Amino acid sequence: MKKYLFITLFAITLSATTLSAQEKYLEPAISHVTVFRQGAQLSGDLKLALQPGTIDVIAGGLSPYIDPNSIQVRGEGDFMITGVTHRNNYLESPAESTVIAGIREKIDALTAKIEDEKTAIEVLLEKELFLKSNYDVVTNKSTITPEQLKALLDIYTSNTEAVKTAVLKKRRTIREYEKEKQQLESQLAGTVDRSRLPTGEIVITLSGTKAVNAKLMLSYVVMNAGWYPAYDIRVSDISSPATVIYKANVWQQSGSDWKDVKISLSNASPMTAGALPLLNPWFINFYQPAPVMIRGYASESTPKAAKMDAKSEDAMFMEAESAPLPVTVSESNISFSFDVNIPQTILADGKPEVVELQRLEVPATYSYAATPKLSSTAFLMGYITEWEKYNLLPGESNIYFSNTFTGKGYINTAELTDTLPVSLGADNSITVKRDRRVDFTSSKFIGNNKVETRSFLVSVRNNKSQKVSVRLRDQIPLSQNSSIIVEPAELSGGSLNTVTGEVTWDLTVEPRETREIILTYTVKYPKNQKVLLE
């Protein structure tokens, strides 16, 4: 019976040893990250020595946000990959981020300082109590002389004052420490602590018939990462080309920091379906257009989602330029990417890390534009040509003219135009006015119709010492009803877009000259109806 028991225990032990040898846990280091506009593909390698048989290699310590459908594993060596699965490990947690660890260290240091100050206060209070006790003992003696009492009083007063002053200073110091500690604790409470998150694991089953040194290349996609473009557009004067500084704001909240990794920034969309979309039936009905308004030029930016850390405008004046990173542009038939040749560190705190991609000298022409109906301000406009060959993407821009920040704009590369307009800011040296010509504005009845006439005088004054080119933009209303007839009466040579109702004038204004144009139109409609005009 003992013999059988020994054999059974030996078999169980051997079996446990064999099972433990069938799993190997490794943490791959991320070597390359391709960041898409939304999402990122992380790549890393594993090297290990394989023995004959079957083994599960656990690639652990990964992001808990892996898309299981995106996992790819390739191998180098004489073995076979027989299975790849994904799971999250809720027992093992990744190390805290350097940011969180740093906050905790500061809190611990402040706690120790507060304890030291409180201990010092206790010592001082003991000293004060000792002085008081000795003073009481000595002063109660009947043999003490007035001179001795006076000397004792001076010593007691000076020492007590020093003790109380020291205690007061230390209590103030403690309040400062506690205030700073409270701020750090609030910051820590608002920071996502990754120690509470699970870790991602990829289990790779390998099989081989002989010992071999194996290499595994794995990649996967996480969606809580991305990048968005931003631009600095700098113009020194209107006789120089424009400098476009192309930047990328890279962010990620994948649950683990990307430390010293090669970064590629791609415009591809890996999560977009690759199948040809179906063409559904196209139904049409009567068109009800919305009122068309002139699109004015202004230096405000178009809203952008993502989560940027915007600089204050004051900080943008005379902003120092950083040296650009070496970047290689790679293009394929369907996408392009910027390969940053210096390793980068992107923390998993969601804060954008700015990476400069390109610094371009682009040809540009310059003129002024004004929309007097909406604003009496003239804006200096730059028109960048050949922009389509620079792989620009839609994004916000900071505009600098003569090394001074003039405002924000938006580069909209989705517009199919030959030139890219950029507002360089308002110029107060050019004044624009739009006044109603009261004598030429009328309302009268003709038969069953009412005819209203509106007339405006637009003036442009050039207070500069050199001539300027100015494009004026105005409009006439568009009729949405066949019973309402709008006709231009006088446009002073302006060009009318009959689709949008926009009227434009291209003027050359000499130094100290004032140019005037007239805009007049009529609106005829049934007199029993009402039409709202300006």
Give the 3-state secondary structure of 428-459.
EEEEEEEEECHHHCEEEEECCEEEEEEEEEEE
Token match 């004598």: residue? 439
Q: How far is CA 369 from its chain centroid?
A: 30
pLDDT at residue 502 in the model? 93
Strands 23-26 and 53-62: parallel
* Residue 496: pLDDT over 60: yes
* pLDDT band, very low/low/confident/very high, at 58 (cuts 50, 70, 90): very high
pLDDT at residue 250 in the model? 94
Tell me the three-class secondary structure of 477-508, residue by residue. Answer: CCCCCCCCEEEEEECCCCEECCCCCEEEEEEE
- The one-character DSSP state at 177 is H
Give the phi and the psi of residue 97 in degrees, each rounded to 5: -70, 160
Q: Which whole number is the average pLDDT over 248-273?
A: 84
pLDDT at residue 269 in the model? 74
pLDDT at residue 301 in the model? 38
pLDDT, tens only, 199-223: 889 999 999 999 999 999 999 999 8
Strands 353-362 and 258-266: unpaired
pLDDT at residue 517 in the model? 95
More confident site: 409 or 332: 409
pLDDT, tens only, 228-244: 999 998 888 887 888 88
Cα–Cα distance for residue pair 362/390, rounded to 1 Å: 9
Q: Which whole number is the average pLDDT over 238-258?
A: 88
Query: Closest Cα to residue 431, out of 474, 473, 470?
Result: 470
pLDDT at residue 333 in the model? 58
Cα–Cα distance for residue pair 241/409, rounded to 1 Å: 18
Highest averaged pLDDT of the listed ranges 222-226, 307-311, 417-421 = 222-226
- The one-character DSSP state at 323 is P
* pLDDT band, very low/low/confident/very high, at 89 (cuts 50, 70, 90): confident
Residues 6+ apart with CB under 8 A from 183: none
Token match 């009261």: residue? 438
Q: Indicate the angle between helix axes 146-189 and 98-139, nearest 10 degrees.
A: 160
pLDDT at residue 281 in the model? 67
Mean pLDDT of the chain: 80
Helix (H) or strand (E) holding 182: helix 146-189
* Residue 481: pLDDT over 70: yes
pLDDT at residue 10 in the model? 41
More confident site: 325 or 200: 200
Measured CA angle at 78 (ends 75, 80), to 5 deg? 60
